[in-house]
Structure 1
Amino acid sequence: MKKLLLIISLAAIFCSCSKQREWNREQRHQMRQDLRTYRDMVYLTDLNDVEWELFADDVAVALENDFPVYATFIEMPSVEDTVTMVVVETVVTQLEADAHNMRHLFPYRQLVAEGILPEGMSHQQIKSYYTCLAKKVDNYYNSVEQFFGTILAGNIDSTQLGTFQRQCAADFEGVVVTEIDIIETN
């Protein structure tokens, strides 16, 4: 009888400890709310609400898997850096050079504003542009990390990526490709 009570006690302790290692609904909700501060990142600005929720879920699940005790995670001195790192890792993981993701990195409205693409393109023309750009990126960059590094470096117009954008845009009426020689001096 004593052994049975001991086993039941140990099982209860084990179950209660394992419950503490899971984030509760409020903690998950709070993390998703906190992730909204990252919505202005390059890849994330053009996600619609459904795509954003899926992305935020991926990040929250990754954080919960890496840091199962929410209270310990929140009290870490570098919690913001950790969240940023997981957000960037999730972006890089989701970022494959395909036409679907290119539209998030280089939104059509932005390309029109920059004079790369003309106003009023059809859905098929826009899809064709992003497919062209994705193929050029796939053929040029050795890895997603290298491609993402180019984006994070800043001035896309002065990179090979800017050249690819202009080359793909040249297929559409009203777009003129201008070659720019950039000479760096130190």
Structure 2
Amino acid sequence: MRLLIMGPQGVGKGTQAALLAEHYGIPTISTGDIFRYNIKNKTELGLEAMSYTDKGELVPDSLTNKIVKDRLAKEDCANGWILDGYPRNASQVEALDQMLAELGVKLDHVVALEAGREVLLERMKKRAAEQGRADDTPEAIAKRLETYEKETAPLLDTYKSRGLLVAVNGVGAIDEISKTIIAELG
């Protein structure tokens, strides 16, 4: 199973991706987690990424595409994967299409989690308090939500036109949302 999990920040992508990965026995690839790991460990990649994330900006496509391509080629991805937080814009969709063609695999589904803006803001405020994430300031959150609406949300139409989109309400009990996704994926 090769899945994308999409939706605005705070909708629960990471939580659902972890549950789906366990269910299907495939890895979750979170570009955000990769960047946060590198930032925490002050690697060259981390320092470069931090120069963007500290301002609430997204890491440039060229850097993100390189990381995703390298990760999808790893042995543990041979039987499938879940991409969380990628693609975020039209050029990343093109890059992903090219990566998949080179690997000789196809995308199975795109899961779109949905929730209202107030729910998202409250969840991210709580996450910032619990996890102490420097990138969850009110200003950075607002900027990321605006960027999502402008650049990422339109990608859902692309995947819908390809017959890959599965839209699921991201509000409710975590296990119920997970069961709904699995049922929708068949």
> What TM-score, normalized to structure 2?
0.25
Question: Which structure dedicates a bigger proportion of its chain to strand?
Answer: 2
Please tell me whether Structure 1 or Structure 2 has the larger radius of gyration of its CA atoms. 1
